[in-house]
């Protein structure tokens, strides 16, 4: 069983403004690219990385690539690490979302929500956990593995392993370019840290 660094992708122009979800063409902005470079330096200096996995979405790959280059290992795409598929809501602005009954339900009881044209939070959690379990199964107990993903996906993963009700996953904060560390052994799980943020100078 491996130790896994769950890293959220860096800043994009969508954060806080539009719902990106599975939309293609959402890239890191200048700050996000700086975060990706800093992450690579920090992780390489403190951790012997065995493997790097990334959500196939551009913003995640762009966050993972500088680390893969520094580690001189191939970046592996892991579809299970993708963001929640928000279906017909993807691309809508924060202002548009706040008027939708479905979006209000997301904040009241997300476990009951299924996004039209997309998936439910239960489905997203299941495929993310399946991916983490697959990654665990191919790495040894002394391996340290990086998984670059998205805010909701990381929150759903941590919620599962902490045995929290899914409806409470939004209580967790996962900031851009933050690191959360999971350690797995044969009979236990440890959350070593969550939402560890980088200091990025202006």
Residue linked to tokens 């990025």: 200
Please report the pLDDT score of residue 184 as a whole number: 87
Domain-wise residue ranges, the chain: 3-196
Please report the pLDDT score of residue 36 as a whole number: 98
Q: Would you write out the chain's pLDDT as a tens digit for each of its 202 residues?
A: 789 999 999 999 999 999 999 999 999 999 999 999 999 999 998 878 999 999 999 999 999 999 999 999 999 999 999 999 999 999 999 999 999 999 999 999 999 999 999 999 999 999 999 999 999 999 988 899 999 999 999 999 999 999 999 999 999 999 999 999 999 887 788 999 999 987 655 4
Beta bridge partners of 5: 146, 181
* 3-196 CATH fold: Rossmann fold (3.40.50)
Tokens of 101: 């009954």
Q: Are the C-beta atoms of residues 19 and 96 closer than 8 Å to each other?
A: no
Computed from CA positions of residues 11, 127, 65, 199, in that sequence, does the dihedral angle turn out positive or negative?
positive
CA-atom Rg of the chain in angstroms = 16
What letter would DSSP give residue 82?
A: S
Please report the pLDDT score of residue 202 as a whole number: 45
Please report the pLDDT score of residue 201 as a whole number: 52
**Of 13, 75, 7, which Cα lies nearest the Cα of 38?**
7
- For residue 14, how far is the Cα from the chain centroid? 15
What pTM was estimated for this model as a whole? 0.95
Q: Where are the alpha helices (DSSP H) in the chain?
A: 30-46, 58-71, 94-97, 101-108, 121-137, 151-161
Residue 50 phi, psi (nearest 5): -90, -35
Distance, in Å, from the CA atom of 108 to the CA atom of 104, rounded to the nearest integer, reads 7
Please report the pLDDT score of residue 27 as a whole number: 98
């Amino acid at each position: 069983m491996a130790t896994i660094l769950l890293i959220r992708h860096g800043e994009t122009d969508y954060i806080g403004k539009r719902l990106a979800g599975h939309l293609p063409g959402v890239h890191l902005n200048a700050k996000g690219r700086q975060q990706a470079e800093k992450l690579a330096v920090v992780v390489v200096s403190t951790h012997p990385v065995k493997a790097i996995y990334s959500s196939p979405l551009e913003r995640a790959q762009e966050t993972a690539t500088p680390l893969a280059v520094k580690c001189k290992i191939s970046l592996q795409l892991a579809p299970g690490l993708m963001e929640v598929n928000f279906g017909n809501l993807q691309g809508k602005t924060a202002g548009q979302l706040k008027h939708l009954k479905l979006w209000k339900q997301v904040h009241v009881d997300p476990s009951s929500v299924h996004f039209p044209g997309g998936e439910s939070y239960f489905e997203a959690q299941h495929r993310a956990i399946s991916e983490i379990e697959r990654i665990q199964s191919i790495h040894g107990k002394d391996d340290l593995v990086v998984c670059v993903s998205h805010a909701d996906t990381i929150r759903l993963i941590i919620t599962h392993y902490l045995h929290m009700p899914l409806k409470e996953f939004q209580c967790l904060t996962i900031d851009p370019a933050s690191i959360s560390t999971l350690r797995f052994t044969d009979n236990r799980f440890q959350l070593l840290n969550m939402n560890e943020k980088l200091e990025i100078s202006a």
